[in-house]
Chain A
Amino acid sequence: MRRERVLTAAATGLLWAGVMLARLFTGSAIGLAEQGDGKRLLCTLGVANRRPWDANMWRFVYPTWDPHTWYGETCGADGSGETYHSTQVWLLWLAKQLTGPLGLPGALDLRALGVVCAVGVGLVCAVFTLVLPGRWWVRVPLASGIGLIYADSAFAGFFVSPFSEPAALLGLGLLLAALLHLLRRRRATFGSLLMVVACALFVIGAKIQLVSFVVPVCLAMLLPPHRGVTAARMWGPVRWALRRTPAILACVVLVGSTSYYLTQQPKRQTEVAIYDAIFGSLLHDNVSAAEDLRDLGLDPVLASAADTNILSPNSIATTEHYQHFKETVTPVAIARFYLTHPAAALRLLGWGLEGVAHPGLDYLGSYPVGAGLSPGAKEHRIIVYTTLWGVYTAAPALLVFLWLGVFVLGWLTLRTGRPTWKERAAGRLAVLVPVMIWTQFWMVALGEGRVEATRHMTYVTFLTAFCLPLTALCVLLLIRRARPRPDWRHALTPEESLRLTGKDSYAEV
């Protein structure tokens, strides 16, 4: 790797770490308030939130966490106490180590997490500056475009919050860079495959809904054949498989680890999500609720519980119907229902698009109590992408066209002219990202429905924002290739070459 490239990457990384620090901490620190579910992750580090009993926690950020001993099921998923696993714990552990040295109060202060994440954003921008194709004046603005996504008000608040999103968002950035690194060579290497698997596991390990990335990531890993593995005389499919043995092994590791991780997730979360998917989404404002319930194998009388959640006073969880509901309605049954009911699937698509089109969680405040702002005040320090999103807020259906457009651009980048492997990587990523978006979109739509769609669609929103610098890159590559570039070496005669260079002989040239 050239020294100039590394220096440019380091400078870009430092710049964006600085931008993040400034946007998070200049004036009053900002973050994101929580709804009481922050404990499930931080309790594993032996801390509890320092806030008054009657605190308005949806409206204010309470960043300080004090040492606390949690017994039994008090630490874990709400309602069951099952241990909540997330790779976000690693970032929180780092923040805990930094809290004291940074002079912050308590055993863990989420502002220290903000510092860790600012460095993380810098790292992501640096890595992108390294792996993106083109000259520095192409790579730095594009990497900055990615840094700007993290700095936008739609995402930055997560970095001073007790949620799992920081690890997932940073991991997702690194995963995209690792995919670009893997695809920018003609042949895959062990190192590039391992980086992809590590990043993918980090992302999926941060939040269970990101399990949908297994499919596109495996597809990406299986694209390039492996370096040094030859099977020239084999039958086509066997040769294809043999040349990709390490990638197939990497896929097995990814699928196996993800499956294990799935089995470790709190069952209570699935139970709550299934309840919301039916009563909060399917039955919401549904004129054919009774019919849909019958199609799901449920008693139509349950339609009266539309728009309840599992904790509502009139929740069916306290009735004799619930056991049958639990046994009948599984994630597979929900998926099958939507596959056979296109109208219901269209409603789901609409809610999902609405969720993506409205970035930022308006119902959670951005400021700590001491900031002197009204409860629930939101910060708008950097809103480049949020402003651009005004188009989608007005017409959410345009998102589908953007995703489709990026896919087509990626395809054109691959198919137009004779792209270099680095250019191909950009095209392949542009094809892959819409696939990641669609799989994640439907994973969330089917799993969570319309309940808290904006929050659950965070990664779709992030990837959609990522589509913009990616589009710029693909367009740039296509324009460069479309422009006629005369090859002067062939156009000039040897004599003319000597004359133009001012040399006397070819030896000097």
Chain B
Amino acid sequence: MPFPHRVRSAFLCAALVAATGCSGHDPHAGIVSSAAMEIGDCHRLELPEELYNGSDVAPPVPCNEPHQTETYMLTRYSGPIAAHRERPSPEQLVKEIDRLCDYRPIRPYLGAGPMDGQWGVAIWGKFPTRAEWLRGDRTLRCDLLGPTLVAARGPELTVPLRGIMVRAESAVVRRCRLGPADVTCAQPHDVEWVEPPVDLPPGRYPGVRRVARLAEEMCRVNAANFVGGPLRGLRLRLEPPGPDRWRRDDRRVECWLGREDGAPVVGTLRGGLAR
């Protein structure tokens, strides 16, 4: 039986009203404002869409749970860009991150000493939402983005980065190599970067053998300091500068340390770390 005209019209009217579009998503549910974020907070941004979004108002997560970034610094947008009443384009805001998120507090935040080189962490900024900007919030959150250990999972951390360099967990942000590929020391690797690298004394290029001998001597001292004892069962691998690099005033020797048998390992050789 056909619908009466009125019923049909009512149905169509309802459709018209609904056609203007609405959704069940509430963007304000459970959020934490940008201004309420604190240094040391860890942030779960597990999807590329969340990581690459300019603002983040998701509640922080405990740092021993999977997360992607950790806040090491909070600052504010200043100058002409901050004067805009409406939030400027994300491209302009991101450009300012390079200037405003200072790299200098990173090493102290990580607890890095002279023999600790951090690797695989990147600066990642988050700016206020449009609504927050309109309300006058100019907070710029400077985070550290963790390294990618498993390609299919993307960048991910399960430990706090604050003071990590004095703990064995720091393997996750130390530089190692598996064959020619750079990896973090929390992944299987055959050699580990020894910090600090060695700079040979200036002067004329002394020849391949002398450079190798000098590099070996200096790296051995650094490596012994790095592991905090004799290099038993360990082997140095050196990358000294050749004449070309030397001519460009690059006299740096990269010192790498691995097991004598060459077997891949997981973890760091750095000595004196808390377990």
Contacts and interface: CB of A to CB of B under 8 A. Distances in A.
B5 interface: yes
Contacts of A45: 23-25
B20 A257 contact: yes
B152 to A, nearest CB: 4
Interface in B83-128: 89-92, 94-95
B89 A71 contact: no
B4 to A, nearest CB: 11
Q: Which of B30, B92, B94 has the most CB of A within 10 A?
A: B92
A-B interface, 5 closest residue pairs, ranked by CB to CB distance from nearest: A53-B154, A85-B21, A44-B23, A201-B19, A52-B152
A71 B24 contact: no
A157 interface: no
B95 A46 contact: no
Contacts of A75: 25, 27
Interface in A297-334: 310-311, 315, 317-318, 322
Interface stretch (B46-54, B157-165, B251-259): B46-54
A72 interface: yes
A70 B91 contact: no
A194 B8 CA distance: 9
Interface string A83-104: 1011101100000000000000
B221 interface: no
B25 A87 contact: no
Interface in B1-53: 2, 5, 8-9, 12-13, 15-16, 18-25, 27-31, 47-50, 53
B210 interface: no
Interface stretch (B55-63, B229-237, B239-247, B265-273): B55-63
15 contacts: A39-B47, A44-B23, A45-B24, A52-B153, A69-B30, A72-B27, A72-B58, A73-B55, A87-B21, A191-B8, A198-B16, A201-B19, A253-B16, A260-B20, A317-B91
A205 B129 contact: no
B47 A261 contact: no
A257 B20 CA distance: 7
A35 B101 CA distance: 30
A194 B89 contact: no
A202 interface: yes
A322 B21 CA distance: 32
B264 to A, nearest CB: 22
Given A73-B130, A74-B56, A85-B23, A53 B16 contact: no
Given A36-B49, A71-B31, A85-B21, 16 more contacts: A36-B48, A44-B25, A53-B148, A70-B25, A71-B30, A72-B129, A74-B49, A79-B89, A194-B9, A194-B12, A261-B21, A264-B21, A311-B91, A317-B92, A318-B91, A318-B95
Contact of A205 (B19, B50, B94): B19
B274 interface: no
A68 B54 CA distance: 19
Most-contacted residue by chain B among A71, A74, A202, A311 (CB, 10 A): A71
B165 to A, nearest CB: 26
Contacts of A197: 12, 16
B181 interface: no
Nearest to A76: B27
A53 B152 contact: yes
A81 interface: yes
B151 interface: yes
A43 B22 CA distance: 13
B19 A198 contact: yes
A310 B91 contact: yes
Contacts of A194: 8-9, 12-13, 16
Nearest to B151: A54
A48 B8 CA distance: 37
A288 interface: no
Given A79-B54, A205-B19, A317 B27 contact: no
B55 A81 contact: yes
A394 to B, nearest CB: 40
A81 B24 CA distance: 15
Contacts of B21: 85-87, 89, 205, 261, 264
A71 B53 CA distance: 11
